[in-house]
């Protein structure tokens, strides 16, 4: 199959722009709790109703207008994930502005480049430090700017000051501005993270957001509804988190924000979400933590059997979903019941005890990891999308999960596979072009956006990803290698944060295994040894025989999955600064060209 489409489930008639989503929800359920916001001083969570949120949005929008924000003006937001981000986002749209999100971890040069390229007029910072970066960036532009303001309540120039300045703007003036933008007007300019080149400004329209929000909400109504709640800890500068927020807001699903992902597990018992969106690494760490606790209690062998049972149970459940006849397996059923009492129930409790589904995106999800979570009673829905597709392009659906695939095109979207195997996309969520028209060159073919990803469609029209078009390796003997399958298999080991296959123009394949700092230190402590930490901007080889022997097993297992010509002969274990935004994107993807540049000596040593 070379093309797969899913018809839309929701019409966009009756919606002028994204703000209508909030207006409609506030009219339908004004007293429904839309957000839970943490009080930093007490740690307690207070509810905010849909009407209360809308009132805050309108008040801040009037403040923007009082500062002379005009329809179509860009407003930048640079802050950690928090409730005020949501208020500022919707308020900018109510004021007719275009939102320019900036990752809170961005460097000064990145902030300067985005502010200048987008012609930002006013900026909102999460902290005084963010605000200072934005203020400096605004000062370097030729645009007449309106200042940088902060979400931090302890300083001057705050959102509260903006609100106070807008009391003279009438409701009629605000309503006229709110309804100015049409579906085809720009809603946001999101700059890509630049894993393979310079960041590009992706212009997403109100139609893109409306199409995705309404259709995804319809497709996943079993999960996203007013009886559920979620915790958003992914960066709101990422279109996936913002899209999720709009879907939840429009559907009445309660939202809590966490700015520090490391606090998520400790908070789940309090918030008890019914649905979570994570990257695969989070799932890997949950599984690894459970294995570590079992080992500490002398139950490593029992845990290994529990893992195998969960995977078998997950595979059985998927076959039932697919309508296949499954032979009764009393032994598996008994083992599952026993291990549920010993381990699985406790894992579900760690996640709050109410999580019905987890959505995984942002990177490839290992098939066994997906089956494991399905087997413990928390199915993982894997999806796929890009900034240019307003986040999800494809996704598995409840009752139709196929581990190893990223699902079928979502409603209103079409996926085509080119003759070269590239994934092409067209439909409601797909953008029309970049801010810089020069970046559009080669980005589209026959009306389809070129994703740059390689993939294939199975007989049910589900997409199976097979790597990046630009990441293929051509060895000196002319073999073309797609490294994704091998890299993903090695990355299933908790110690490996990133696996990078190398070998362009070389006689054989090698690899760099980038250690996960937290897991590596825990492993070293358990082994009674120490591992040197890399210096900033350094990629340093780690020469520990026991560590190398441990990871050799992961390499051997990955090699067993691929053809002989795709197997890695040599590898080097390295430490890198994974907080370095020159090396790692805000969505935690390695910039392969930067890795290869910084580790050039280490790579060459693999071919001596």
Mean pLDDT confidence for 185-192? 96
With vertex at residue 436, the alpha carbon angle to CA 432 and CA 439, rounded to the nearest 5 degrees, is: 75
pLDDT band, very low/low/confident/very high, at 387 (cuts 50, 70, 90): very high
Mean pLDDT confidence for 433-452? 94
Residue with tokens 């902030």: 111
Select from 81, 35, 2 the least CA-distant residue to 415. 2
Q: Please give the structure tokens belonging to residue 544.
A: 């520990």
Whether 214 and 7 have beta carbons less than 8 Å apart is answered as: no
Alpha-carbon distances, residue 537 vs 121, 501, 540, 596, 599 (angstroms): 34, 20, 10, 13, 10
Whether 453 and 41 have beta carbons less than 8 Å apart is answered as: no
Least confident interval from 49-53, 162-166, 524-528: 524-528
Q: Quick one: pLDDT at residue 597?
A: 84
At 232 the three-state DSSP class reads strand
Least confident interval from 33-47, 475-489, 496-510: 475-489
Mean pLDDT confidence for 355-383? 91
Q: Quick one: pLDDT at residue 395?
A: 95
Element holding 137 (H helix, E strand): helix 128-139
3-state secondary structure 545-573: HHHHHHHHHHHHHHHCCCCHHHCEEEEEE
Residue with tokens 């987890």: 358
Whether 36 and 46 have beta carbons less than 8 Å apart is answered as: yes
pLDDT band, very low/low/confident/very high, at 284 (cuts 50, 70, 90): confident
The rounded distance, in Å, linking the Cα atoms of 257 and 152 is: 16
Mean pLDDT confidence for 439-444? 94
pLDDT band, very low/low/confident/very high, at 335 (cuts 50, 70, 90): very high
Radius of gyration for the chain, computed over Cα atoms and rounded to the nearest angstrom: 24
For strands 357-360 and 380-386, give the pairing.
parallel
Report which listed range, 182-191, 274-283, 466-475, 494-503, is most confident.
Answer: 182-191
At 530 the three-state DSSP class reads coil
**Which residues, other chains included, contact 484 with Cβ-Cβ below 8 Å and sequence gap of 6+?**
364, 465, 466, 467, 468, 471
Mean pLDDT confidence for 132-143? 94
Is pLDDT at 153 greater than 80 in this prediction? no
Mean pLDDT confidence for 298-320? 94
Mean pLDDT confidence for 506-529? 87
Least confident interval from 84-93, 413-422, 584-593: 584-593
pLDDT band, very low/low/confident/very high, at 56 (cuts 50, 70, 90): very high
The rounded distance, in Å, linking the Cα atoms of 273 and 357 is: 10
Q: Quick one: pLDDT at residue 195?
A: 45
The residue with greater pLDDT, 535 or 426, is: 426
Mean pLDDT confidence for 536-553? 84
Q: Please give the structure tokens belonging to residue 595.
A: 């890795």
Mean pLDDT confidence for 402-414? 94
Whether 519 and 495 have beta carbons less than 8 Å apart is answered as: yes
The rounded distance, in Å, linking the Cα atoms of 574 and 596 is: 12
Q: Quick one: pLDDT at residue 536?
A: 59
| Mean pLDDT across the chain | 91
At 365 the three-state DSSP class reads coil
The residue with greater pLDDT, 506 or 61, is: 61
The rounded distance, in Å, linking the Cα atoms of 337 and 369 is: 20
Is pLDDT at 439 greater than 80 in this prediction? yes
The rounded distance, in Å, linking the Cα atoms of 450 and 391 is: 15
pLDDT band, very low/low/confident/very high, at 1 (cuts 50, 70, 90): low
Select from 418, 554, 568 the least CA-distant residue to 494. 554
Mean pLDDT confidence for 95-100? 98
First to last CA, the chain: 45
Is pLDDT at 258 greater than 80 in this prediction? yes
Is pLDDT at 11 greater than 60 in this prediction? yes
Is pLDDT at 582 greater than 90 in this prediction? no
At 221 the three-state DSSP class reads coil
Q: Please give the structure tokens belonging to residue 134.
A: 């934005």
Q: Quick one: pLDDT at residue 535?
A: 60
At 297 the three-state DSSP class reads coil
Is pLDDT at 358 greater than 50 in this prediction? yes
Select from 561, 564, 391 the least CA-distant residue to 491. 561
Mean pLDDT confidence for 377-400? 94
Say what the alpha-carbon torsion angle 306, 307, 308, 312 is, to the nearest 10 degrees: 100
pLDDT band, very low/low/confident/very high, at 393 (cuts 50, 70, 90): very high
Mean pLDDT confidence for 137-165? 91
Q: Quick one: pLDDT at residue 500?
A: 93
The pTM of the whole model exceeds 0.95: no
Q: Please give the structure tokens belonging to residue 55.
A: 């009132």
The helix/strand count (H/E) of the chain reads as 20, 28
Whether 157 and 130 have beta carbons less than 8 Å apart is answered as: no
pLDDT band, very low/low/confident/very high, at 196 (cuts 50, 70, 90): very low
Beta-carbon count within 10 A of 607 CB: 13
Q: Quick one: pLDDT at residue 366?
A: 84
In DSSP notation, 467-489 reads: EEGGG-EE-TTS-EE--HHHHHH
Domains in the chain with CATH codes: 18-181 (3.40.50.12780), 280-469 (3.40.50.12780), 472-605 (3.30.300.30)
**Which residues, other chains included, contact 465 with Cβ-Cβ below 8 Å and sequence gap of 6+?**
364, 384, 406, 423, 453, 454, 455, 484
Is pLDDT at 148 greater than 90 in this prediction? yes
Mean pLDDT confidence for 399-404? 90
Q: Quick one: pLDDT at residue 585?
A: 75
* Chain-centre distance for alpha carbon 540: 28
Put the strands of the sheet holding 391-395 in their side by side order: 45-49, 33-38, 254-257, 229-232, 275-278, 357-360, 380-386, 391-395, 408-409
What percent of the chain has a predicted confidence (pLDDT) above 70? Answer: 97
Mean pLDDT confidence for 253-264? 90
Residue with tokens 């007449």: 144
The rounded distance, in Å, linking the Cα atoms of 189 and 19 is: 17
Report which listed range, 166-180, 277-291, 534-548, is most confident.
Answer: 166-180
Select from 263, 244, 235, 277 the least CA-distant residue to 380. 277
């Amino acid at each position: 199959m070379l093309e797969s489409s899913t018809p839309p489930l929701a019409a966009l008639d009756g919606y002028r722009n994204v703000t209508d989503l909030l207006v409609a929800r506030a009219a339908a359920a004004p007293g429904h709790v839309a957000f839970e916001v943490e009080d930093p001083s007490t740690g307690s969570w207070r509810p905010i109703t849909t009407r209360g949120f809308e009132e805050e949005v309108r008040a801040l929008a009037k403040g923007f207008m009082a500062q002379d924000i005009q329809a179509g003006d860009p407003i930048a937001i640079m802050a950690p994930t928090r409730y005020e981000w949501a208020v500022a986002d919707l308020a900018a749209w109510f004021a007719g502005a275009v939102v320019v999100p900036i990752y809170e971890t961005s460097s000064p040069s990145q902030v300067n480049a985005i502010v200048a390229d987008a012609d930002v007029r006013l900026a909102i910072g999460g902290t005084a430090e963010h605000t200072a970066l934005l203020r400096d960036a605004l000062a370097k532009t030729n645009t007449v700017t309106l200042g940088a303001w902060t979400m931090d309540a302890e300083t001057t120039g705050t959102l509260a000051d903006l609100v106070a300045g807008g009391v003279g703007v009438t409701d009629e003036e605000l309503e006229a501005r709110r309804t100015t933008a049409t579906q085809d007007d720009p809603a946001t300019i999101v700059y890509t993270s630049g894993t393979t080149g310079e960041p590009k400004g992706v212009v997403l329209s109100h139609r893109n957001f409306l199409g995705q929000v309404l259709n995804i909400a319809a497709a996943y109504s079993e999960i996203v509804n007013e009886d559920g709640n979620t915790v958003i800890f992914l960066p709101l500068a990422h279109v996936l988190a913002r899209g999720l927020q709009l879907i939840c807001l429009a559907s009445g699903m309660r939202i809590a924000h966490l700015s520090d992902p490391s606090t998520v597990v400790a908070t789940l018992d309090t918030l008890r979400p019914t649905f979570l969106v994570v990257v695969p690494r989070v799932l890997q760490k949950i599984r690894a933590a459970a294995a570590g606790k079992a080992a500490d209690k002398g139950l490593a062998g029992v845990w290994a059997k529990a893992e195998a049972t969960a995977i078998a149970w997950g595979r059985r459940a998927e076959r039932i979903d697919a309508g296949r006849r499954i032979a009764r397996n009393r032994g598996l059923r008994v083992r599952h019941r026993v291990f549920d009492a010993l381990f699985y129930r406790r894992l579900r409790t760690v996640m709050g005890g109410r999580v019905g589904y987890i959505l995984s995106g942002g990177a490839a999800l290992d098939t066994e990891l997906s089956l494991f979570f399905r087997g413990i009673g928390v199915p993982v829905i894997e999806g796929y999308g890009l900034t240019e597709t307003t986040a999800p392009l494809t996704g598995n659906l409840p009752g139709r999960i196929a581990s190893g695939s990223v699902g079928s095109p979502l409603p209103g979207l079409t996926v085509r596979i080119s003759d070269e195997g590239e994934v092409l996309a067209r439909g409601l969520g797909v953008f029309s072009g970049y801010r810089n028209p020069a970046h559009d060159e080669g980005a589209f073919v026959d009306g389809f956006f070129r994703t740059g990803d390689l993939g294939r469609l199975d007989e049910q029209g589900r997409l199976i990803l097979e790597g990046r078009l630009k990441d293929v390796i051509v060895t000196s003997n002319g073999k073309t290698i797609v490294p994704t399958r091998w890299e993903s298999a090695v990355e299933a080991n908790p110690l490996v944060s990133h696996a990078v296959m190398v070998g362009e123009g070389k006689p054989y394949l090698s690899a760099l295994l980038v250690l996960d700092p937290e897991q590596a230190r825990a492993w070293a402590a358990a082994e009674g040894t120490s591992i040197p930490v890399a210096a900033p901007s350094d990629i340093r080889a780690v020469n520990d025989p026991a560590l190398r022997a441990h990871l050799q097993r992961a390499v051997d297992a990955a090699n067993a999955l691929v053809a002989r010509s795709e197997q890695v002969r040599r590898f080097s274990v390295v430490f890198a600064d994974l907080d370095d935004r020159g090396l790692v994107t805000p969505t935690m993807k390695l910039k392969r060209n930067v890795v290869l540049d910084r580790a050039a000596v280490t790579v060459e040593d693999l071919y001596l």
